[in-house]
Amino acid sequence: MAVEVATFGMGCFWGAERVFSRVEGVLSTEVGYAGGDYENPTYRDVCTGKTGHAEVVRVFYDPDRVTYEQLLEVFWENHDPTTPNRQGPDVGSQYRSVIFYHSPEQREAALKMKSRLESSGRFAKPIVTEIAPAAKFYRAEEYHQKYFDRHRVSNY
């Protein structure tokens, strides 16, 4: 079985992980930090907004069961890609909307879908989602992994 990886930032990584972990064909998820210039950041470091990292979810999936395009749909449907550095009550560059692509094909698919959404009129404001090459991923502290499942939060 082939396993591919996708990385998305869409606000607090707890909710993003919950959403993607429920997608058929997703084999596993992990949350962490990517896109910054600070080595080995901690949650406390990232929360300052000074490291440049975004909270992200890394998604390992079986491309025979779920396509990257389907994962992109989940991404676009589960956050507001028009709010710069903010999702709901979470404010700061660590909560930005970002797609970190791992291949030229992922880059092309992300750009194509973003363009299609921009011209569709689905969003009243411009899409601010960043599309960037996969950055070094730093796995978040263990207490952040599968947070909602471990704390039995079911209303998300």
12 belongs to the catalytic site: yes
Of the residues 12, 31, 54, 110, which is catalytic?
12
DSSP string of 25-90?
TEEEEEEEEES-SSSS--HHHHHTT-S--EEEEEEEE-TTTS-HHHHHHHHHHTS-TTSTTEETTE
Nearest to 111 by CA among 72, 139, 148: 72
Report yes or no on 48 lying in a domain: yes
- Domain holding 57, by residue range, is 4-150
CATH code of the domain containing 23: 3.30.1060.10
pLDDT band at 1 (very low <50, low <70, confident <90, very high): confident
pLDDT of residue 143: 78
Report yes or no on 51 lying in a domain: yes
CA 61, distance to chain mean position in Å, is 14
Query: How many domains does the chain fold into?
Result: 1
Report yes or no on 156 lying in a domain: no
pLDDT of residue 144: 77
For the cut 60, the answer to whether the pLDDT of residue 154 exceeds it is no
Tokens encoding 76: 């676009």
CB 18 within 8 A of CB 156: yes
Report yes or no on 115 lying in a domain: yes
pLDDT of residue 73: 98
Q: Which residue type does 106 have?
A: Q
Report yes or no on 155 lying in a domain: no
pLDDT of residue 109: 98
Mind listing the pLDDT tens digit for each residue in 52-71? 999 999 999 999 999 999 99
Entry pTM? 0.94
Report yes or no on 123 lying in a domain: yes
